[in-house]
Structure formats: C-alpha cells, structure tokens
Amino acid sequence: MTPMHLGQTSTLPASPEEAVLDYVPNPRPGTTYLVRFTQPEFTSLCPVTGQPDFAHLVIDYAPAATIVESKSLKLFLGSFRNHAAFHEDCTVGIGERLFREMQPQWLRIGGYWYPRGGMPIDVFWQSGAAPAGLWLPDQGVAPYRGRG
C-alpha cells in the first residue's frame, strides 16, 4: 500500500471519479480515537446553473486498519471544483466513498453550504452509531450568520 501522492508531485484530478485516495496503516491500531478534517473552502458547481457553490466541510472518523492520507484527500476534495452536483450528492458521496474505501470504525460528514438564493443548505451523513467511548466534539460550525 504505497501512497501515490505523499512525497510526490501531484496534479489536481479532473473529476472526483479520477481522484485516487491513498490510505496508510493506522499508527494506533486497537485505539479508538477521532480524526477530523476541515475544509472551509470546498467548492463544486450547481448542476442546473453551472454557478459555483461553496461549503465548509467537516469530516470526522474513527480509524480501523487504515487512515486516509491528507494530501490525497485535499486533491480529492479539490477535484469537485469543476464537478456539477447538488449539495446532498457531494456531501453524502464524499462520506460514502471514504467509508467504503477506508473502512473506518465510524465516519460522519457535515456539509455546511453557503446560501445561494437566500437559503443555506446543511447536509449530514454518518455511517451508523459512533463507537462506545469515542470523544465526539461538536463540529464547530455555527448556524448560518455569515458562517464567520
């Protein structure tokens, strides 16, 4: 399981389907802990108008055998820049792909989308109940008031 991106020059994939996520062995197997990735400047395109949509994503997971390598995750998330999909599809699709490929104990994603047309849309998905004893902090994104 040699990472494709870590320590290498990598270009932004043209689409989420072309993006390759790297997974490396969990350095603390047998320990239940939470990993959080925050992407406050996520972008995709509206599938109807082609206009950009912006979101603050928070991805939390409890690793099992592997962890996702952060550079490959950044490239994967960046590949959505020219991807046309509704907020729900982007948010849930990211969570499902990470869960399917990495097979963590548990995963959740919060997609806090900035408004277009005056209405913010927040999308949440999780793989199931969190493991017993897992410290689960609030995702820290305020209800919409400029998302500041």
Q: Which residues are annotated as catalytic?
A: 46, 53
DSSP-assigned states of every residue in 82-147: G-B--HHHHHHHHHHHHHHHH--SEEEEEEEEEEETTEEEEEEEESSSPPTT--------PSSSS-
d(CA 102, CA 146): 34
Closest CA to 25 of 3, 40, 44: 3
Closest CA to 38 of 112, 131, 128, 96: 112
Owner of token pair 């548990």: 106
